[in-house]
Structure 1
Amino acid sequence: MNSFRAIEERSGSHHWLRFYFLFSLVCAFSIEAGFSEQVSLTPLWTVNTKTFLESAPTVADLDGDGVDEILVAGREEMIALSGSGEELWRWRTRGRFMTYPSILRTGESDSLIYAADTSKLLSCLNSKGEEVWTADLEAGSSWSAPVVCDLDSDGRMDLVQTDESGSVSVFDALTGEKKWSAKVEGKPVSPAVGDLDEDGRDEIVVSTSEGMLSALSAHGEMLWTRKIGGTWETWAGSAPVMFRDSRGRGLVAFGTSDERVVCVDENGETIWSHPTRGSVAATLSVGDIDLDGRADVFLITQTGVVHRYAEDGQPLWEIDMQGRTLGAGALIDLDGEGALEYVLCTQDGHLMVLNADGENLFDYRFENRTINITPTFGELDPSTPGLEMAITGGETGKVFCFATSAPRGTVPQWGSYRGNVKKTGAWFDLKVGEKKVSMVLEDPSLELHTCDKPVRFLISNPDPGASPLQASAGCLRPDGDRQSVITS
């Protein structure tokens, strides 16, 4: 006999709902959740840069004229395009670029652009593509973006760059003067930089090819190091991300080569961990997609499965896209309706837009690969009412521009490969004060796919009113039969 029953418990603003399932079921739940309408993305232009593009574009207003430009790192050249796709300049490096450029605005009409190549060369260019300074690293750098930050809050901007010797080096971002260098075990990928413990100084967290995760202070002292997984090549290394949860804790999340996602606190102690369907090579994305005042963690595995987790580790959903990716998804209100969407590209040229419930709102197939791509957004065309989206096209060398319905001024929560143009890999903008009604599993470790034991949800209403709150949970049995329960 297949059945379930519900038991309700009330305590203050919390409403408990317990379900008992007699068979293994797949369950979903919601609280008067509306579904977003399908989004619209309109192709505007395509430009062939005639080079190999294996990293995502960076979009920013380089010259302070109010209109964004596009930066792409070709195989051996840094290329700047106008918002209409016109080539503004290209600068040739000494080796090969396997990176994502970062940007520092230095005045009303200028910016500094940073990138390292495989020949040990770290370069700083101005907004016109002119060389400002260069520095030699101890080894070449691959898949490690430079990070622009102010490590010790002294008002002088710093630049953090790793290389394949295991060096983590910090330079004066304006002059290129080397401040310090420290060593970690293995080849690091892009570091995450931010103030985890809120002491006024940033920490640097890096993962390496030896399966190590290390944290350094603003002055280069080793704070802690942990063995986090198996070994990998730099192209297959998941760079860590930092975020702050609704309790104010600074956390670090990362994926591993042995098919796990792990979240640690500021001291490197594991908070939660889950298996993933495939190893994780791409960096993660962090934001608050449903605006409930609780952070969300997104990752995409090498087998093409998208996972979404709550800040406490609760698995929320997973979607098999049937296409691997090495790039993070973006988080942005793409249609201007107040809800956020998750925008991603697969290696084989599949562009998708998902809403907070994991529903597919948009599906587009390029005729070429889109390698290591995070869709990137900016105000590229003054004649359109919204933001534009830039995507690069792998071996074809093409750059694609789409018009979106995101209003001008929209700020993505996660808007580039490492979250922002400074490539910090950190998101500390959670709006806890705007907390909404939430419905979460009491036991975050419970797998949603095999609920063969009692399942209890905690419904929290931070601002209860006179109107009753209605909650629902649905179950899908293996034979396709759906069952649901509603309570208020």
Structure 2
Amino acid sequence: MNAADLSSSNQTLAAQPAPATLWPQYRHDDSLVGHFPLRAGLDEAPQVRWSADLGGENTPSEQWRVEDLDGDGQAEVLRILPDQLVCQDLRGQPRWTREDLPQARVVEIRDFAGDGGRGLLVDVNTGTELQTFMVSGATGEKALLYAKRNVFGESRRSGQLLPGVPGQQLCAWWSGDHIYGEKMASEGWVFSFERGIAHPTVRFHVQEEGAIYAPLHLIADMDGDGRAEMVMISHEQLWIYDLETSQRQMYSQWTPHTIRTYWANTAALPLKAGARPSLLMINPHLPGLKVVDQDGQSAHELWKLVIGGKEDQYQPLIKIEGSSPDPFIDLDGDGEIEMLVAITNEHGDGKTWLVIFGADQGERRFEAPDLKILAAEDLDGDGQLEVFLQQRDGTLRLANWTGSQFADRWQGAGTEPLFQPPPPEQELARTLGSKSTLKNPQVWRETPGARPFLMKLQGHVYSWELESGGTLKQLREVTRHPALGPVADPTTPAPYTWDGKALVVREAGQELAPQTIPTQRLYLAPPPLVGVLGGQVRVIVRNRQGDLVSLSPDGTDPKVLVRQSPAFAVFTHSTEYPQLCDVDGDGEMELLTSTLGPDSVAAVVAVDGEGQVKLRLPIAEGATQLSLGPTGRLGAGQGRWIAVRYTRPLGGPYVVAHSGRTGKQLWQREHFGFYGENGVIFALHTPTAVLDYNHDGIDDFLAQSENFYNIVGGRTGKDLLSPMPIHSDVVPGHWTAYATPMSLDLLGDGKLKVFFSRSYQLTAVSDLEGNPFWHWGLTRDTTARNHAGLGDLDGDGKIEIVVSQADGLLTAYEAEPTAHKCPSCPAIAPEADSSRAGQMRWTFRLPPPLSDITTADLDGDGRDELLLGTGKGLCCLKEMQGQPTIAWIVDLGRTAGAPILADLSGKGRPVILISTEDGFLHCLF
């Protein structure tokens, strides 16, 4: 075949080609298997025949930070590349290079040692392990602080954590899934650097196991002996450690049924003078607030208040969080702490109310809508706190708290207080939770220790003074102050200028040639579609602007069919792909997708080959986002049902199905499964496989919502399996969820199985009813990031499964299970049908990142090959005598996306279409 064959196909077809020879939807067809059935004749490496420019954004290919890295008072340039760090002087001369830090992320640059130098806190990602290093800014010498795998969550803070220790210290707590067994592993560290950046001292280190998920930590004197302890909190459990010896002093679980605490605002504060600190908690997963007492031996709830009256950590209707950076303050100095809480939708009005509770007994003292607390500080020198309040309309108020209400001292519109940045360690007796700022802010004073403070008004900064017992008075404009940035000496010009893109150095009064950050063009398009629109074979691909563009088979004749598609780029557990299908049953294909139209109103639309809208389903009233879900047949001549997933500010996601022929709503569904008596939100994972489960001529779809699985009737929205299988519980000892169900004839016997692609911590196959067929335990880090290759690699009529890891490792499994458990099954789990392991066939490594895997018989020998994009281009992998070998590689110059195959010419000779991250779509044959 040659390019002329593709050019000659730019004509109206006399007969519709079989959809199987094209690629009309993501992963080819409703099964999502990603297998191309036509033998391709591509036994040798193909050549690029045409490339279509999809556009791309020029983005930095590396990051630069220009600052003093060695403490000598002179700035250096730190270049952060994908695989190395380079330090150079302002003229570009290298100081040091580190080439062993893959995917390095520089978290902080500070004087950690206290010697005037700089330490670089650097996180590294190997693909299956996260490592944290301290790197010397002067020499590049590095020290590994800690490594972590299968991380569920981490909290970390640095600053002056240990009194009397020079420099700044680092505290880190993390938890991760245990590789074998059901308990989570957790680790806590404190490092100091007084011996030098590259020679850290371990001040504190513990390891724990249990129900520990993203542990919170704080540092407080929990026993009143004048020395601070380390405190760890997770799932309503409390651990207290001696900060000097790392010995555990106390463990207690204060409720029998644990719930999530990792987003809770928590403080350790005594309720009365001389008492041991209690835990004051505002927990969105309760939802509510509580106080937990501890006596050094055990902990118990002093009181608990559930907002809305129903304890449910999964409910989506009520939101609760702290109403100020530090929501635990004694506002009136009476000895009782006020808990300052922001509650949304408690009254069913969608509004956020400021609610103040007394910490002693949980008494509700005050509530008002559309009001929040910014800070509290004594502004007039009388020993009482003034509270900065901000209304929804932007009005700023200064008031005193009376114990039941706010007594205003002043209010004004358009004013903004200037707060000092908090210290890096924040407030040590507070947990990080969901907040980045935990300390009650202090306003900038005009001069240190003086009463006048700074606020901005109409773009100008003024000093203000709150008169004793009176109101606020504006004093004078302030133009030079640390709050406004560094004060430059006009007689000494800076030796360089840096605008974030270009560095210009001055020497002897002259500017040297600018140094600019290298850039690269970046845009990786999703896999294209190929189908018949308007009687012609067309290639549909998304360009950099978000438009769906139709191309002729030779890559010419571009037509924009739909702009701004999809309507929303980010949608939890959903990735939207357009589809070519007969929406209304008239025998003609339409392009079905979502769009954010010129009126900025989101909708699902179906358009013809000229972009004319044939169907429009506008976003549901009250919804904030939509995403196109699965679609299937309603019966002969009836068109298709179209499922759309919606989100809203309150109430959680839900799914609505419409008729593609009439646009009318067929059904709406809000819940999917139950936790106890509480219905769980329907967070449908898309894409998902579609099939006619009950053989009634109407398609149904495989539904995965978090850790629940079922088959849902496409026309009715009702469950076809009862009871609903809980996907996370079907394999003993393996909690799993978040999969993409795919349907396949695994054994070649005509009985469909379900492969749960990218299932969390598991490679899993079940029958259609959710009963496990075989599995292989993974970890959080080795869970597949891309969809597997599903094909008959040896020509025996059975399907092998090939999954990938983030680090480029491929693992192939046989179709049949073993008679035994997998290596990560718990030792106590019995040998049973539900615990049968898969058979590992082989492993093979390719340069990451890897794309979804497509399978096809590329060389016509009756055996499927694996086709995928890699960090080096397009790769074809073939089995030879049961082992993988690279059949050919096409170097495309940049990382490649997922390939597809299609017969563009109609002559039975497929081509490969693949996008690369520089914004091009390539056609190869």
- In the superposition, the TM-score normalised over structure 2's length comes to 0.25
Q: Which has the higher contact order (CA 8 A, sep 6+)?
A: 1
Give the structure with higher Rg (CA).
2
TM-score (norm 1): 0.43
